[in-house]
Amino acid sequence: MIPSRTPRYNARLAETEADLAAAQRLRARAFLGQAEGRDADAFDALCAHVLVEDRRDGRLVCCFRMLPLAAGREIGRSYSAQYYELSGLEAFEGPMVEMGRFCIDPQARDPDILRVAWGAMTDYVDRNGVELLFGCSSFKGTDAELYLDAFAMLRARHLAPRRWLPRVKAPRVFRFARLLRRPPDAQRALRAMPPLLRTYLAMGGWVSDHAVVDPQMNTLHVFTGVEIAAIPPARKRLLRAALG
C-alpha cells in the first residue's frame, strides 16, 4: 500500500487489469485529448502504476507509473532511453526509478491532487532506498516559441551536472542551451513551466540541455533527474506531509 491521502483523495497501487485500463483511459484524455480509447505501450507491463482517486466517488483523478532499476547500468531499459543518449548515467551506482506518464484529469484543478501523488512517490522512494528519480517532463504542444522563457530559465539555473548530462538521440530536438542566451523573465517562465517540472526543480532537480519534439504525444519534453540525497530537508518534510 502507498499511504498517501487527504480527506478527499487517496493514492494506491493498481491491482487489477481494470485499474490499469482506467489509468490508460485517463492518459488518453490527458495526453491525446481522446474521450475514448487508451494510451498504452509495452512499458506498462514492466511498471507499478499509482492511482489517485477521489474518495467521495472513487473517480480516478491522477495516475503515473514507476519503473524500478537496480542501478545506472540498467538505464537502457527505460522509456527515456528511447529519446536520450544516457550513457553518462550508466555510472550511477544506486537504485533508480523512472516516473512516467504522470497526468491529472483535465477537469480536476485541486492542488491537493499533486500533493497526494508526490506523497505516494515519496513513500515508494523511502521504502525502496531509491537514490535517483528521473523521467521526461512534458510541455504541451510542440511549439517551442510558447515556452522560451521557461527554457531560458532551465538553461540558466537547472542544467544537469556534466557527468550525468543526457546527449541528443531523438531525430527532432530543440537545443535551448545553445540557442537561448538572453535572461528569462522569471514570472513568464514559471507560468509556462509544467507543474510536474516545477516540483522536480523545487527538489533540486536538473534537466537535459535540449527538449525532444514528440509529435506522437504532442509534447516537448526534457529529461529530468532528481538525486534524492540532494533534496532540501524542508522540501522532504513537505513531501512526507501527505503520508498516512
pLDDT band at 89 (very low <50, low <70, confident <90, very high): very high
Cell 527515456 belongs to 80
Q: Which amino acid is at 69?
A: L
Classify residue 129 by burial, with Cβ atoms within 10 Å: 0-12, 13-18, 19+. Answer: exposed
CB of 113 closer than 8 Å to CB of 60? no
Q: Are strands 173-174 and 132-140 parallel, antiparallel or unpaired?
A: unpaired
Q: Which fold has domain 4-240?
A: Aminopeptidase (3.40.630)
Residue 35 has pLDDT above 60, yes or no: yes
Q: What are all long-range contacts of 110-115, with beta carbons under 8 Å and residues at least 24 apart?
A: 110/8, 110/9, 110/61, 112/6, 112/8, 112/9, 113/9, 113/52, 113/61, 113/62, 114/62, 114/195, 114/196, 114/199, 115/6, 115/241, 115/242
Q: What pLDDT score was predicted for residue 240?
A: 74
Strand partners, 129: none
**For the residues 15-20, what does the mean pLDDT come to?**
98
Residue 1 has pLDDT above 60, yes or no: no
Query: For 172-189, how does the pLDDT look when each residue is reduced to its tens digit (9 = 90+)?
Result: 999 999 999 889 999 999
Cell 484524455 belongs to 29
**Count of Cβ atoms closer than 10 Å to residue 13 Cβ:** 14
CA distances to 166, 181, 186, 219 from 149, in Å: 21, 11, 7, 17
**Single pTM value for the model:** 0.93
